[in-house]
Structure formats: C-alpha cells, structure tokens
Amino acid sequence: MDICTPTPSAAVSPLRQRMLDDMRMRQFAEHTQEGYIRAVRKLATFLGRSPHTATAEDLRRFQLHLVDTGSGPVTINATITGLKFFFDITLGRPELMLKMTHVAVPRKLPVILSPDEVGRLIAAAPNLKHQAAMSVAYGAGLRVSEVVSLKVGDIDGERMTLRVEQGKGRKDRYAMLSPVLLERLRAWWRLGHAQGKIRHGGWLFPGLDPTDHVTARQLNRAVHLAAATAGIDKRITPHGLRHAFATHLLEQRVDIRVIQVLLGHKRLDTTTLYAAVATDLLRRVVSPLDHTCAKPADEPAPEPAPQPPAL
C-alpha cells in the first residue's frame, strides 16, 4: 500500500505508519521525520506508484530527475538520506540504494559584519526584545534555534553562563555570558515582566502568545528590518551574527579550540572555516616578500667619470 496515500479508515497507510514507527523508536526529531516522509513522497510522485515497488534503476532515474529539475546539492542529499532510511530500515532492502550517491556541496564563505556594523545593526532593532535576542546571537554565538528556545532560568548571572538545552545534536552545553549581554537581558526582562509577556520560568523571548517562544522566522524578519534601518546592504541573517562572533574572537587571537567549545562544534575543521574570513588576521601576517633583502632597483646610476692619475 502506498506510503503517501491515507486510507479511508486511518490517517496513514500501514507502510507509512511502519516508517513513522521506525523513526519514532529511534527518537528522531519531528522535522527529521517530516523530511524523510517528504523524500519518499517525492519518489512516489515521480514513479506514479507506491515507492516500495521501486527498483535500483528507478532510483537512479529519480536522482537524474532531481538534477535535471534544478534541485540543489543540499536538497538532493537530504532526499537521498530519507530514501536510504526507508529502503534500508523500513523495507530492509539496502541494495536498492547502490546506484544513488550523495553529491558534493559547495562550501561558501559566510558574509561577515564588522564590529561597527554589528553595533549599528543591534542598535537599529525594532524593539528591546529583538535587540536582546540579537545581542545573544552575537554576544554568545548561539544558533537562532538556540536563541529563541532560551528560558529565563537558563541565565546564570553568578557563573556568567547561558545554559543551552538540547542544542544541535541534542546536546546540552554552556555558552559565555558577558557583563554587557547580562545587562541587556536584565533590561529586557524588567520590561517584559512588567508588561506580562515574560512569565515565571517561561520563555526569555516569548511570541505573541506567551506560552510559546518567538519563532526563528520572526527573528529573521527583525534582523532584516534592522539592517534596512541601519543602512547595511550586506546579506544578513541571525546566523550571520554567530559567524561574526566566531570571526571577531579569532581576530582577537582567542584559541580556536576555545571558539570550537563556545560554538558547540563537534569537529574542529568546522570551526577553522572562520580562519578564511578573519581578514584582520590576514592583515597581521607579514609576506615573505617583505623579509627579502633584495629591493627593486631603479635605473642604474651612471658610472663615475675616470679620474686623472695622481701626480
């Protein structure tokens, strides 16, 4: 039975339910489950029949279809990952995926704001809540999902830390909390608490409904509005403030392994990306050409006129 077509008597087909159960027993995140189901649905649409009837050649043609219709490397790889789970785990037929292959994703350097641009951007935030949230993204280097998920109890003013619960990879960690950031968070807390927006033990950055936090999309819109107000024409997102945090620390000669811990990176080579955009470091490096003794010669000086022999 088709994984993508619900039956009249149930919300989902038996095959789809089995795949959902396979993902649930592994405690996959909700967005991961949605992405995997989406991948199988794409294949079913391409085949025009249930995906469990696909052959290895069908899957090969499907990847060619993704390429020909303009799907990017990230989309292709995400689709292949979802299909691999479906065929390997749910159907128990891993051999069908042998002709599908992940593609290389071009690695692009992030756009980095200067410290002056960051200051202007945060100052131009639409309100105090968004100003505090943007200050967290830059001052502590948090991902946008980690910023919006902060709770009041995650702020530790005594130890000067921010507790990040279940960040990327479902890992808890502590982030730095600077005195300036702490003061900004306290200013927002006083205002939000007085207005009844911040509840005891609730979200630090609540949405329109205080029982839920502000969304990443809402924060992204606030950053774009602030950039327009500040006259910054660079491509900016909340994640760009995290990039700026790491780059500026590297330019301050903070050890890259410390930056790795602050960012919550699993692998050091992920953090070393910022060495390529830390332009202040490049300016400090002295070219080996400048250490050479040879100097470019001007036109050769005329030879001195011969002197008459001494008497």
Give the residue numbers annotated as catalytic, written as ranges: 143, 168, 239, 242, 265, 274
Within a 10 A sphere around the Cβ of 236, how many other Cβ atoms?
Answer: 23
- Contact indicator for 87, 100 with CB cutoff of 8 Å: no
Distance CA 58, CA 23 (A): 24
In angstroms, the Cα distances linking 23 to 17, 35, 201, 299 are 10, 11, 32, 77
List of E strands, the chain: 155-156, 161-167, 171-176
d(CA 238, CA 227): 11
Cα–Cα distance for residue pair 9/223, rounded to 1 Å: 46
Question: CA-to-CA distance for 261 and 174, rounded, in angstroms?
Answer: 9
Cα-Cα-Cα-Cα dihedral of 240, 241, 243, 244, to 10°? 120
Question: Residues 46, 40: contact at Cβ < 8 Å?
Answer: no
Cα→Cα distances 18→41, 52, 250, Å? 15, 12, 48
Residue 274 structure tokens: 């910022």
